[in-house]
Amino acid sequence: MNTKNNECCCKKIRSVAKLEIQYAHRFYGFKGEARYLHGHTGTLKLEVEDTVNPGVNMVYPCNEIAKTAWAVLRNFDHALVLREDDPLLTAVLSVYEHEGVRNGTPTNTNKGPAFRTSLCTAYPECRVVVTRETMTVEGFIRIVYDLLKDKLNLVKITFKSGSNTASAEFPSRLTLDRCPCCGIALKDGVCPKCGYRKSQGKCQG
Ligand SMILES: [Zn+2]
Ligand SMILES: [Zn+2]
C-alpha cells in the first residue's frame, strides 16, 4: 500500500459511467454488408480520473458523469448518423420534409442542444447527426472526446456496438474544482447543484 513517499497507491482513481445509445447508420462506400442502413445499441464507457474528493469520497459521481455526457450525446440516441457526403442524407431529409417532421414534432422530446464541431453536426429536431467520417466505433470515440473533453477529465473511452469495440486512452488534462457536498464540478466557484460557494467553504445542512 505504501510507496516510497508514503502516498497511497490509489491517489488517482477512476469513476466510470456507462451509457446506451441506439442509433442507425451505414458505412457509405464500404465493401461489405455495413454499407446497408442498419441499427445498433451501442454501449459507451466513460472513465474519469482524479484524486478522491474528500468531502464525498468520490472521484466524480457516476450518475453525474452520465448526466453531463447524456446532455449532448442524447442527440445520437434514436438518431440516424450519416456521413456528410452520403446521398441517403438528402433522400431521408426529403422524406421527413414531405412527412412534415423535418423540423420536429411535439413527440420528439429526447433532444439535447444542437451542436456543430469539426467532426459532426447534430440536428436534434429531426434526429439526424451528420459526420465528417463514417461513424465507426473508433470514429464515435473521437466525437465523444471532442464533445466532452472540457467538461470531464476523461482518460479512457470504450465504445462497443454490435460485435465491434474500440477504446482509447487520453492524458489527464483537467483539474476540476469539485463541490465537497455533491462532488460535481463548480462553475465560477459555485456548485450548480447545491449552491456551495468555494469562497465560503461550507456545505449547507
Ligand atoms: Zn453498424
Ligand atoms: Zn454541491
CA–CA separation, 20 and 184 (whole Å): 22
Query: What is the 8-class DSSP label of residue 49?
Result: E
Question: Is residue 134 a part of any domain in this protein?
Answer: yes
Look at the block and give the residue holding cell 440516424.
Answer: 80
Ligand 2 centroid to Cα of residue 7, in Å, is 28
User: Do 85 and 141 fall into the same domain?
Assistant: yes
Question: Is residue 5 a part of any domain in this protein?
Answer: no
CATH number of the domain that 110 lies in? 3.30.479.10
pLDDT of amino acid 2: 44
Question: Is residue 23 a part of any domain in this protein?
Answer: yes
User: Do 56 and 131 fall into the same domain?
Assistant: yes
pLDDT of amino acid 70: 97
The domain in which residue 182 lies consists of 175-205
Ligand 2 centroid to Cα of residue 74, in Å, is 24
User: Do 194 and 165 fall into the same domain?
Assistant: no
pLDDT of amino acid 184: 95
Question: Is residue 24 a part of any domain in this protein?
Answer: yes
Per-residue pLDDT of the chain (205 residues; tens, 9 = 90+): 444 544 555 578 999 999 999 999 999 999 999 999 999 999 999 999 999 999 899 999 999 999 999 999 999 999 999 999 999 999 999 999 999 999 999 999 989 999 999 999 999 999 999 999 999 999 999 999 999 999 999 999 999 999 999 999 999 999 999 999 999 999 999 999 999 999 988 777 6
User: Do 149 and 186 fall into the same domain?
Assistant: no
User: Do 197 and 112 fall into the same domain?
Assistant: no
User: Do 179 and 115 fall into the same domain?
Assistant: no
User: Do 46 and 85 fall into the same domain?
Assistant: yes
pLDDT of amino acid 8: 57
User: Do 165 and 181 fall into the same domain?
Assistant: no
pLDDT of amino acid 97: 97
Q: Give SS3 for 180.
A: coil
Residue by residue, DSSP assigns 13-25 as EEEEEEEEEEEEE
User: Do 49 and 113 fall into the same domain?
Assistant: yes
Question: Is residue 139 a part of any domain in this protein?
Answer: yes
User: Do 192 and 123 fall into the same domain?
Assistant: no
User: Do 180 and 112 fall into the same domain?
Assistant: no
Question: Is residue 2 a part of any domain in this protein?
Answer: no
pTM check: above 0.85:
yes
Question: Is residue 141 a part of any domain in this protein?
Answer: yes
User: How far out from the chain centre does Cα 128 lie?
Assistant: 16
Look at the block and give the residue holding cell 454499407.
Answer: 35
CA–CA separation, 179 and 193 (whole Å): 9
Looking at the CA of 182, name the nearest ligand: 2
Q: Give SS3 for 114.
A: coil
Question: Is residue 6 a part of any domain in this protein?
Answer: no
User: Do 96 and 191 fall into the same domain?
Assistant: no
Ligand 2 centroid to Cα of residue 53, in Å, is 12
Q: 81 is written with which cell numbers? A: 448518423
Count the domains in the chain.
Answer: 2
Ligand 2 centroid to Cα of residue 198, in Å, is 10
pLDDT of amino acid 3: 44
Ligand 1 centroid to Cα of residue 114, in Å, is 24
Ligand 1 centroid to Cα of residue 153, in Å, is 28
